[in-house]
Amino acid sequence: METLRTIARVPITVKRRVLVPTMGALHRGHLELIRIAREAAGKEGEVAASIFVNPLQFAPGGDYEKYPRPETDDEEFCRSAGVDILFRPSLDVMYAADFSIAIEENSLSTALCGKSRPGHFRGVCTVVAKLFHVLVPDAAVFGEKDFQQLAIIRRMVRDLNFQIEIIGAPTVRESDGLACSSRNQYLSATERQQAPVLRAALAEGARVAAGGERSASAIIATARKVIDMSPLARLDYLELVNADTLQPLEIVQPNSLIALAVFFGQTRLIDNIRLS
């Protein structure tokens, strides 16, 4: 594995390159992204991973400073997973001191997490576009746990004419159903015990929808009751939306999605489930 820290050293190759962008603190979910990237790259292709904790994604007073940065462990993780190129730039490599241009999506980013995290997706689009320009991948893999992010990146690729295939990877979960996330390590033992309530609430909403319930308000109310059973859970949002537009629905339609965000203390977790 070749580890690169400057843009000047990134090689241009005729091989099919598949990128896995990350902020580090790698876990089993990232391992699956890398596996999917390897499969998409093929025997003659290469997998590139990036590790960069992007300050543009964090709100003032957020957890940017304390976001985990286990550099040695992450590098060994990538090496063991079969990554060919690891790009881990410093802040000054990615952003000039007088950096003044950003990319903003103005439709999908107004829903769900965009309501409570203003500017977050501006940061996501900007850093991902920069990684695309620097690493010149043929494809990139993003997890479906961050469903809104995946939808926005697909929109950016479409609207800005990036010739890059975006591959969505199914959510990887712990044995109790909690979606794998770098932020799970922030949870106290009691919070971690209650955190699977996210998946339980989504599953209950999906169950009543599969049983014939069409009303979004009824489905959401059912899922909300499950969240309310966890005394440490503080709901940010719980919505039934169209998976393409991310706009709220009143009645279940084809391609519907239940998405939620829940706080445990200062730790904010997200999850989602598609309705069949």
Among 15, 20, 45, which Cα is nearest to 31's? 20
Does a structural domain hold residue 6? yes
Q: Examine the pLDDT at 11 and tell me if it is beyond 90.
A: no
Question: Do 157 and 24 share a structural domain?
Answer: yes
Question: Do 128 and 94 share a structural domain?
Answer: yes
Share of the chain above pLDDT 70, in %: 100
Among 93, 102, 110, which Cα is nearest to 128's? 102
**Domain that includes residue 115, residue range:** 2-169
Q: What is the pLDDT of residues 141-190, one digit of tens each?
A: 999 999 999 999 999 999 999 999 999 999 999 999 999 999 999 999 99
- Provide the pLDDT for residue 61: 82
- Count other C-beta atoms under 10 Å from residue 274's C-beta: 14
Does a structural domain hold residue 175? no
Q: Tell me, yes or no, if 30 is annotated catalytic.
A: yes
- Provide the pLDDT for residue 173: 98
Question: Do 192 and 161 share a structural domain?
Answer: no
Q: Examine the pLDDT at 62 and tell me if it is beyond 90.
A: no
> For the domain that residue 252 is a member of, what is the CATH number?
3.30.1300.10
Question: pTM, whole model, 2 decimals?
Answer: 0.96
Q: Examine the pLDDT at 8 and tell me if it is beyond 90.
A: no
Cα(193)–Cα(187) distance, integer angstroms: 9
The mean pLDDT of the chain is 97
Q: Are strands 256-264 and 139-143 parallel, antiparallel or unpaired?
A: unpaired
- Provide the pLDDT for residue 276: 80
- Count other C-beta atoms under 10 Å from residue 27's C-beta: 16
Q: Examine the pLDDT at 27 and tell me if it is beyond 90.
A: yes
pLDDT average, residue stretch 100-111 = 97
Buried b (16+ CB within 10 A) or exposed e, 113-131: bbeebebbbbbbbbbbbbb
Question: Do 255 and 146 share a structural domain?
Answer: no
